Structure 1
Amino acid sequence: MSENVINVLASCCGKLAQFRRNIVVRRKPPESMSAYECHLLGVEQLNIYSQSANENAIRLLSRAVELDPSFSQGWDELGFAYAVQGANGYGGNAATSLERFKYCATKALELDPGNSPARQCVGDFLALSGDFEGAIAENTRALRNSPNDSGVLALVAGSRALAAGDPAEGRCLIERALQINALPPVWYFSMLGRVTFVIGSHREAIAAFRRAPQDMPSTHMFLAMAPALLGEMEEANQIAARLASEFPDFNPEMFIAGYPITNPPAVEAIRRGAERMGLA
């Protein structure tokens, strides 16, 4: 019971952070905000997931670490903003977004070795360099340090699917995260969708991505590929047409290039789905 309360109230997306934003931060002029207050508003924008909100998140979180360069959590969240930018092609250069993501995550962990989300991200970059054992070890350490943090569980679940490790273990982790957080942020369903897509549970992946952020092209990519792999081409073609219309510059190879996607089952599943859809 205590795990549920902590995850609902105390996380960066929780009720206490929302209260702080609404009651205190919005009453201040921007020039008088502290690093933490910029961070709160930046995280709020980060969790909208549209391209314009992502730009605002990067601006606010960059300001937070400018005001306080020792703010580990600020660097951590700025890294996630660049991760969203890279995975969805928002920045125009996936390699640049990925490099900035890596820099921020590494900086966050250097400042605070107990920052489990940053450790999880650094683990993914080990996988990107070919060190899969190191990646699994870092993600396992993040879990050991924060065993009841639903956000860490969700992040490592996605990592098990896309970066390194056993995607089936990732499924157990994301189910645990959803169990102990009664009000999960919508990005948890992106992680659930990624895990179930990689292990081949495409109908479950569709259900998950329908609850995931709907302004991201990567969400619609999976929503097109999963029914295609089920042979449901009418639905798949409708979503693919929307993806092409609203995000004409986005494609699955951009998703792979802009995020630490190295786990062979994930790369194979995404490319097979893209081929089936003609999205490659």
Structure 2
Amino acid sequence: MRYVLEGSVRKAASRIRITGQLIDATTGAHLWADRFDGGLEDVFDLQEEVTRSVVGAIAPKLEQAEIERAKRKPTEHLDAYDYYLRGIASLHQLTRESTADALQLFYKAIELDPEFASAYGMAAWCAVMRKANGWMTDRKQETAETERLALKAVDLGRDDAIALSRGGTALAYVVGDNNSGAAFIDRALALNPNLATAWLFSGWVRADLGDTETSLRHLATAIRMSPVDPLMFDMQNAVAVAHLFAGRFEEASSWAERSLREKPDFLGSLRFAAASYAHAGRTEDAQKVVSRMLALDSGQRISNLADVVSTSRPADMALLAEGLRKAGLPE
């Protein structure tokens, strides 16, 4: 047994306190701890909140602990799951090189285990990051390969929420099949409603489909379930996008700022931040963001927005283009 989740329950009058902690049994290290307070009259609601919060909070901690364990193993002895974990660790670095490395690690995991659905899903999701950052070099070939990987993920992973949610997101964002992507993500949520990233991806797809209110509810769930998630910057960016498409430019600007504090050089966040600032009348801030975008990728243009943004509503694309135009992005 590698990890142990332990806790206690204390009662005082009509109040109850539940505490929990996650421990690495091999090292004794404490990976996570929290407490939950409530009244005895709503003890069942509290029990549900504790379950949801614990599962959502410890999943990223367990994943990170397993990544660190895999890093300590000699490369020549890695099995498929260890390659998979190393791929996730590389993805979290979010550079062109680390994303390329991650893809090769996922391919290695697939080579060792051709039925590894989640590895196919994560390999497909690499293309999501490549597209968002303008790193694709052969768009036609990479899109076709992403579709192959994503369809393999959702076929093999009919009962695998990670495979379904990552594969579904790749189908929506990279391949452009938002409806199929949303359906696979919905299945992921039905299988595992405690998977914060599935709520994140659902929020993205709903925003791209124009259902901004559902998007915001799903994103709020993701943020509440996993408040220290490695993808928090993307959760915040998605909230900004939903508010932007809903015409709430001040709210969009506020959330875009939070996302940029987490990942200042993520082009996906910079793009929507610039448009949000411009529509909110913060022209100077918008211009600064566009300058940063062009420093990172001098080829960014209004005319190639469709290469890096996926939305099914022309009005949303026009709104984004108008904002970036006001911010000074070249045609």
Q: TM-score, normalised by structure 2?
A: 0.74
- SS of alignment partner, residue 85 of structure 1: helix
1:124 deviation in Å? 7.0
User: Which segments of 5 or more consecutive residues in structure 1 lack a partner in the other structure?
Assistant: none
Q: Pick one of 46, 62, 66 that aligns with 1:16.
A: 62
Q: Which shifted more, 264-273 or 83-92? A: 264-273
Give, as a single letter, the amino acid of the residue that structure 1 aligns with 2:266. Answer: M
Q: Which amino acid in the other structure matches residue 248 of structure 1?
A: S
- Could you tell me how far apart the structure 2 residues matched to 1:129 and 1:72 are? 19
Deviations 1:60-96 (A, max 9, x none): 2222212212111111111111111012111223443
Match of 1:221 among 271, 274, 279: 271
Shift of 1:214: 2.6
Query: Which structure has the larger Rg?
Result: 2
Find the aligned partners of 1:50 and 1:92 in 2 and give their Cα distance.
15
Question: Does the 8 Å contact 2:176/2:310 carry over to 1?
Answer: no
CA distance in 2, matches of 1:54, 1:127: 17
Change (3 A) 1:122 1:16: closer
2:24 maps to none
- Please show how residues 184-203 of structure 1 align to structure 2 within 5 Å: 184-185=229-230, 186=232, 187-203=234-250
Match of 2:144 in 1: 99
The 5 A counterparts of 1:1-280 are 1-10=50-59, 14-22=60-68, 24-120=69-165, 121-122=167-168, 125=171, 136-162=182-208, 164-185=209-230, 186=232, 187-212=234-259, 213-251=263-301, 254-258=304-308, 260-279=310-329, 280=331
Distance in 2 between residues matched to 1:133 and 1:97, nearest whole Å: 21
Match in the other structure for 2:37? none
Q: State the superposition RMSD in angstroms.
A: 2.6
Identity %: 22
Q: Which amino acid aligns with 1:97?
A: E
Q: Distance in 1 between matches of 2:255 and 2:179?
A: 29
Quote how far apart the aligned CAs of 1:106 are: 0.8
Deviation at 1:100, TM superposition (A): 2.7
Sort the Cα spacing of 1:116 and 1:265 in 2 relative to 1 into closer, same or farther, 3 A: farther
Deviation, 1:190, is: 2.5
Q: How many residues align?
A: 275
**1:95/1:257 contact within 8 Å kept:** no
Structure 2 unaligned residues grouped into runs of 5+? 1-49
Distance 1:255 1:58 in 2: 24
Distance 1:47 1:198, change over 3 A: farther
Structure 1 residues 103 and 270: CA distance shift in structure 2, 3 A: farther
| Greater RCO (Cα-Cα under 8 Å, separation 6 or more) | 1
Amino acid at match of 2:256: F
Moved more, 32-41 or 141-150: 141-150
State the 1:139 CA deviation: 4.1
Change (3 A) 1:152 1:140: same
Inter-CA distance 227–74: structure 2 relative to 1 (3 Å threshold): same
Higher helix content, 1 or 2: 1
User: Could you tell me how far apart the structure 2 residues matched to 1:246 and 1:124 are?
Assistant: 24
Greater mean alpha carbon deviation, residues 178-187 or residues 257-266: 257-266
Whole-Å separation in 2 of the counterparts to 1:78 and 1:182: 25
1:20-74 C-alpha deviation (Å, 9 max, x unpaired) = 222x312222222111111111111212222222122122222221221211111
